[in-house]
Amino acid sequence: MNHLTRRAMILGTAATAASAGLLTACGSGSGSGSGASDAGGGGAVIRVDSREPENPLIPTNTSELAGGDVLTACFACLSYYTVDGTVANDAAESIESEDQQNWTIKIRSGQTFSDGSAVTAKSFVDAWNYGALATNAQVGQSFFSPIEGFDAVAAENPTAETMSGLQVVDDTTFTVKLTSPQSDFPLRLGYWAYAPLPEAGLKDMEAFGKKPISNGPYTVKAWTSNESIEIVKNPDYDGPRAAKNDGVTFTVYQDVETAYNDLVSDELDVLGSVPTSALETFEDELGDRAVNQPGATLIYMGIPSWSEQFSGEAGALRRQAVSRAIDRKAICDGLFFGTRVPATDFVAPAVKGGGATDIPGGEVLQYDAAAAKDLWAQAEEISPSGGKVAMAYNADGANKDWVEAVLNSIKNTLGVEIEPRPFPSFGEYKKLIADHTIDVPFRQIWVADYPSAFNFLYPLFATDSADGKGGNQTNYKNPELDALLVEMQEATDEAGALEKAKAAQAILMQDLPLIPLWYQNNVGGYAQSMSDVEFTWNGSALYSQMVKE
């Protein structure tokens, strides 16, 4: 699962929700932003900022937040995530296991899709099998890799069409057998890739992707390409997230500046981002309507394993030197005005165990000019590098200022030449990294899919996630780390899992395949007419509970 794709497309810049610069203009005059809809509820339709989804609205083929926010609002997965990342049942009645490997899942009876068909255990099993099958080419395929039988369906030439680890018991019960005990399995099940699918959708996925048949708080009313996606209240949803408003219109903007100005003038109801130009003033301007809270986002400098400059003994010293030459606090204060926090580990603070300050070797993330110069000198003595540090980034997002600030900190500390390397589009940039064409450090971002430290460590650093199979864009491989991640996943309690996470991060502090820079807060705001607006642990808004006067 390529999480660089999913999250960097929308959260990778100083303007939190516009990293790729791909928001498309609609302006402030979309008529559905105020007044009651035809959904028959009691509250007005809420207008929020968004961008055009990358793919059709299919849960297992959506890998970014523009589509993901719509899917989260429209589908009831087995569970959902509260503001603080607590997992609570939604479509599920219970999710149980005695050994963390064999799970029995019961769903609430009487649930229906928006076409009136029943939501059954088979709806989940069919959806997961669809997502895993190689011939369906779903971007979320690897989310099903822990299930027994995944290899048989996920191979280039599948030998089976369904995973042996999924079995329907009756209309409201199914079982899941994993390849090993995995205590955090229930934490994943609120993510949209695990949504159920109706039979009609499986028969015609093209039509389904344009207007999904859903089972959650909302249904899709209309998708006008490059303008908006309108969702309306689903009167048949009887779960814990029942909508308090009539619907939400996701309005596509070209830039976050326009969206922010619309918010200030009350033409937009909710904004999940703040432009760089307003970071210093938005909390004063919006008052108690401003949102600035710890998030599940981490910004890194990626070190490609194929880079000659950063390989071998000299390369290891050079990575440490570069990390110690970056004055994270000065950059966070000077550019981001309290909306970023210098990183002290590899897991964002919104996730339990994240933001740790006691990881062995963690001092490598602290600015120390003398130590940086000494490490660089040692590296140059072993293998001269030419005295230059470059950093690549996509130019269609607001990355330029902070990338140059990072490079200038390195230059001022080490006395080396620097070279910012912008690439015109995120799509091109992403492909060049995947093809190993970019051989210098590059900007990378991660936002957790589910509230677990494992979701920061496995996708970004496991060997199984390298070679184009996941978020391990640097192609880092370390068998010792892999073993610790397996032990972390198989831990029977949270404390044991976090101890393994700490040990794994100690290895990462030595190897630095990614150099953590800072945690990115969830920032945004809402209009004066809005109440009950909250953003969750990973920056998504809780649309169903919002009320507009």
User: Which of 98-102, 318-322, 425-429, 494-498 has the lowest average pLDDT?
Assistant: 425-429
Evaluate if residue 216 carries a pLDDT over 80. Answer: yes
pLDDT-above-70 percentage for the chain? 92
Interacting residues of 207 by C-beta distance below 8 A, sequence separation 6+: none
Output 135 or 466, whichever has higher pLDDT.
Answer: 135
* pLDDT-derived band at 325, boundaries 50, 70, 90: very high
Evaluate if residue 162 carries a pLDDT over 60. Answer: yes
Joined together, the tokens standing for residue 527 give 């209009």
pTM of the predicted protein model: 0.82
Q: How many residues does the chain have?
A: 549
- Give the β-pairing of 87-89 and 79-81: antiparallel
Instruction: Give CA–CA dist 335/348, Å, rounded.
Output: 20
* pLDDT-derived band at 344, boundaries 50, 70, 90: very high
Domain at 77-110+120-195, CATH homologous superfamily: Dipeptide-binding Protein; Domain 1 (3.90.76.10)
Over residues 504-528, mean pLDDT = 97
Q: Residue 43 has what pLDDT?
A: 67
Q: How many CB atoms lie within 10 A of CB 218?
A: 27
Q: Residue 139 has what pLDDT?
A: 85
User: Which of 96-105, 300-309, 517-526, 536-545 has the lowest average pLDDT?
Assistant: 536-545
Residues 411 and 417 sit within 8 Å (Cβ to Cβ): yes
Q: Residue 199 has what pLDDT?
A: 97
Largest CA distance in the chain: 73
3-class DSSP state of 283: helix
Structure confidence by residue, pLDDT tens digits, 222-276: 999 999 999 999 999 999 999 999 999 999 998 889 999 999 999 999 999 898 8
Q: Does domain 295-520 have CATH number 3.10.105.10?
A: yes
Q: How many CB atoms lie within 10 A of CB 145?
A: 17
Evaluate if residue 22 carries a pLDDT over 60. Answer: no
Sign of the C-alpha dihedral, residues 336, 338, 342, 343?
negative
Among 202, 221, 199, CA closest to 211? 221
Structure confidence by residue, pLDDT tens digits, 178-187: 998 888 899 9
Q: Which runs of consecutive H residues, i.e. helices, occur in 189-235?
A: 199-203, 205-210
Over residues 171-191, mean pLDDT = 94
Q: How many CB atoms lie within 10 A of CB 42?
A: 11
Q: How high does pLDDT run on average in the chain? A: 90
Instruction: Give CA–CA dist 208/187, Å, rounded.
Output: 27
Instruction: Give CA–CA dist 111/270, Å, rounded.
Output: 30
Structure confidence by residue, pLDDT tens digits, 63-92: 888 899 999 999 999 999 998 889 999 999
Evaluate if residue 482 carries a pLDDT over 80. Answer: yes
Burial 243-254 (b: 16+ CB within 10 A, else e): bbbbbbbbbbbb
Q: Where are the domains of the chain?
A: 77-110+120-195, 295-520
Structure confidence by residue, pLDDT tens digits, 433-464: 989 999 999 999 998 888 999 999 998 999 98
| SS3 readout for 68-122 | HHHHHHHCCCCEEECCCCCEEECCEEEEEECCCCEEEEEECCCCECCCCCECCHH
